Amino acid sequence: MELERILQRQGFGTRKGCRALIRSGRVAVNGEVCDDPFTDVCTDDLTFSVDEIAWPYREFATIMMNKPADYECSRRPIHHPSVLSLLPPPLVEREVQPIGRLDEDTTGLLILTDDGQLNHILSSPRKKVPKVYIATTKHPVDAGQIEAMLAGVVLHDDPEPVRAAACEVVGDCLLRLTITEGKYHQVKRMVAAAGNRVENLHRLSVGGLILPPDLKPGEWRWLEPSDIALLKAEE
């Protein structure tokens, strides 16, 4: 594939802009500066750099982020900055989208991608992809609340009971909750329906993919094929 087209597909601007970028000597392929935008480059295992910043070639851009509090999962945020503001411009240009939005005050594992098929798989209620959360509650969690969420609680806008796939107490005011749906404010509303209140909420995992302990709030990381396989796996 021509180098200018590679840069365009990876989010570095229009073909004209990418052509100028290459001709200015700011692009290197496998460590060697290349100033010919029409050079044919193999994309298999390709790593190129722009302004000495390395970029792996990805047909689809799929990343994980440790979402911090006070960020919105929207391209048009209202009250707080968008999580997209934490990403480099090429990823924003590629229009990566959060899969399953986290509330502005919820932290933890967030997946973003421009792969529509993956987005559908992970968002579809039929796939029942498990998401695990740690909820800090206002009051100590008791056995009755656990039983209620496992048996199913009724949310005010849904006549059908909503059940937790798993639910356990991990501290006096700490609850580990697994859900396989993605209803609006679901964890908070389930806990409220059971007679408690969520004070803080943190997502630990999606499918079999667990948030790495060394990924700090606001940081992001590329997902490898093995990570994506874990996303689709059951807990």
Active centre residues (catalytic)? 103
Q: What gap in Å lies between CA 1 and CA 82, rounded to an integer?
A: 33
Q: Is the dihedral of CA 55, 212, 206, 89 positive or negative?
A: negative
Q: Which residues contact 16 (CB under 8 A, 6 or more apart)?
A: none
- The pair of structure tokens assigned to 91 is 């990823």
User: What's the length of the chain?
Assistant: 235
Q: What gap in Å lies between CA 129 and CA 121, rounded to an integer?
A: 8
Judge whether 148 and 135 are in contact, CB under 8 Å.
no
Q: What gap in Å lies between CA 194 and CA 159, rounded to an integer?
A: 16
Contacts 24+ apart (CB under 8 A), 41-44: 41/1, 41/2, 41/3, 41/6, 42/1, 43/1, 43/6
Judge whether 203 and 107 are in contact, CB under 8 Å.
yes
Judge whether 230 and 209 are in contact, CB under 8 Å.
yes
Q: What gap in Å lies between CA 174 and CA 80, rounded to an integer?
A: 27
